[in-house]
Amino acid sequence: MDQVIRPRRLRGNAVLRKMVRETRMDKSSLVYPLFIVEGENIREEICSMPGQYRYSIDRLGEPLEELEKAGVSSVMFFGIPAHKDELGSMAYAEDGIIQRAFEKARRDFPNLYLIGDVCMCEYTSHGHCGILCGSDVDNDKTLEYLAKTAVSQVQAGADMVAPSDMMDGRVEAIRNALDKNGFYHTPIMSYSAKFASSFYGPFRDAAESTPAFGDRKTYQMDYHNRREAMKEVLLDVKEGADIVMVKPAAVYGDLIREIKETVKIPVASYSVSGEYSMIKAAALAGFIDERGVMCEMAASAYRAGTDIYITYFAKELAECMEKGVIG
Query: Using an 8 Å Cβ cutoff, are 292 and 251 in contact?
Result: no
SS3 per residue for 188-255: EEEEEEEECCHHHHHHHHHHCCCCCCCCCCCCCECCCCCHHHHHHHHHHHHHCCCEEEEECCCCCHHH
Q: What percent of the chain has pLDDT over 70?
A: 100
Distance from first CA to last CA of the chain, Å, rounded? 35
Q: What is the pLDDT of residues 142-188, one digit of tens each?
A: 999 999 999 999 999 999 999 999 999 999 999 999 999 999 999 99
The one catalytic residue in 27, 104, 247, 315 is 247
**CA neighbor of 164 nearest in space, from 220, 118, 106:** 118
Q: Compare 18 and 282 and report the one with higher pLDDT.
A: 282
Cα angle: 146, vertex 249, 17; to 5 degrees: 140
User: For residues 225 and 206, what is the distance between their CA atoms, to the nearest angstrom?
Assistant: 28
Looking at residues 213-241, what average pLDDT do you find?
94
pTM of the model: 0.94
Q: What is the pLDDT of residues 101-139, one digit of tens each?
A: 999 999 999 999 999 999 999 999 998 999 998 889 999
Please give the pLDDT value at position 159. 96
The one catalytic residue in 27, 194, 280, 315 is 194
Backbone angles phi, psi at 65, to 5 degrees: -65, -40
Query: Using an 8 Å Cβ cutoff, are 189 and 145 in contact?
Result: no
**Catalytic site includes residue 247:** yes
